[in-house]
């Protein structure tokens, strides 16, 4: 487009042409999906405040007990009887004794169990969800019972289904349906399609695989 601008002396000057600006790409759904972070969603971990507090109290009590006994011995007072008996037992028995090996094995087993429990996430009832922007400190989760209820409602919408039991696990969704009419293969095919859409709409970071069983 060109515009003529009036000037003094009756002369007209022709202004430079105005070129349209190039179209900028708009942020649509495809761009939003591309902008999503590719980070892997981690599982939710339990804080374990109560076990940590109990362990700290036990360790503190044992430390105070030994410190009191050490101070009593330093003050020329007799030590606690249980510590003297334990010292006598350790002096007369060797690690080759069966009961010593049995107690040591039990303590190692208890330690391994506690270590395993400490490393386990703990919150198995919450499934991590995928977040659009992967912002630091922002996480989303969905309870397994809520996910099972949503998928059960979806499955009950299938024609021919009388009752459904859904159990959501970390990597698999177990579905047991009872049909009172229609062919079982047709009902199973419809359930597979409905559950596939339902699992996708849950927005989980690791979508579980459905396993459908249909019976009369």
Residue 135 has a pLDDT of 67
| Overall average pLDDT of the 113-136 stretch | 78
Q: Tally Cβ neighbours within 10 Å of residue 148.
A: 19
Is residue 85 predicted with pLDDT exceeding 70?
yes
Q: Which residues of 78-112 are buried (b: 16+ CB within 10 A; e: fewer)?
A: eeeeeeeeeeeeeeeeeeeeeeeeeeeeeeeeeee
> Which tens digit of pLDDT belongs to each residue from 22-76?
443 333 333 333 333 344 667 777 777 887 888 899 999 999 988 988 888 888 8
Measured torsion, CA atoms of residues 79, 85, 87, 92, in degrees rounded to the nearest 10: 150
Residue 165 has a pLDDT of 94
Is residue 10 predicted with pLDDT exceeding 60?
no
pTM for the predicted model, two decimal places: 0.56
């Amino acid at each position: 487009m060109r515009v003529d601008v009036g000037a003094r002396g009756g002369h007209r000057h022709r202004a430079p042409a105005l070129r349209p600006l190039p179209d900028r790409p708009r942020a649509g759904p495809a761009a939003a999906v591309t902008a999503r972070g590719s980070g892997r969603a981690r599982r939710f971990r339990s804080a374990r405040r109560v076990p940590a507090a109990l362990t700290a109290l036990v360790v503190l009590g044992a430390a105070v007990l030994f410190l009191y006994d050490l101070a009593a011995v330093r003050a020329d007072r007799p030590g606690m009887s249980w510590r003297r008996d334990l010292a006598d037992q350790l002096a007369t028995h060797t690690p080759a004794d069966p009961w010593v090996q049995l107690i040591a094995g039990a303590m190692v087993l208890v330690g391994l169990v506690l270590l395993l429990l400490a490393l386990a996430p703990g919150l198995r009832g919450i499934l991590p969800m995928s977040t659009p922007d992967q912002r630091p400190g922002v996480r989303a989760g969905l309870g397994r019972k809520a996910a099972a209820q949503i998928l059960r409602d979806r499955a009950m919408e299938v024609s021919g289904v009388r009752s459904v039991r859904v159990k959501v696990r970390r990597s698999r969704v177990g579905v047991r349906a009872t049909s009172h009419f229609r062919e079982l293969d047709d009902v199973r095919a419809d359930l597979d399609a409905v559950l596939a859409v339902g699992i996708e709409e849950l927005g989980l970071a690791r979508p579980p695989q459905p396993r459908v069983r249909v019976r009369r």
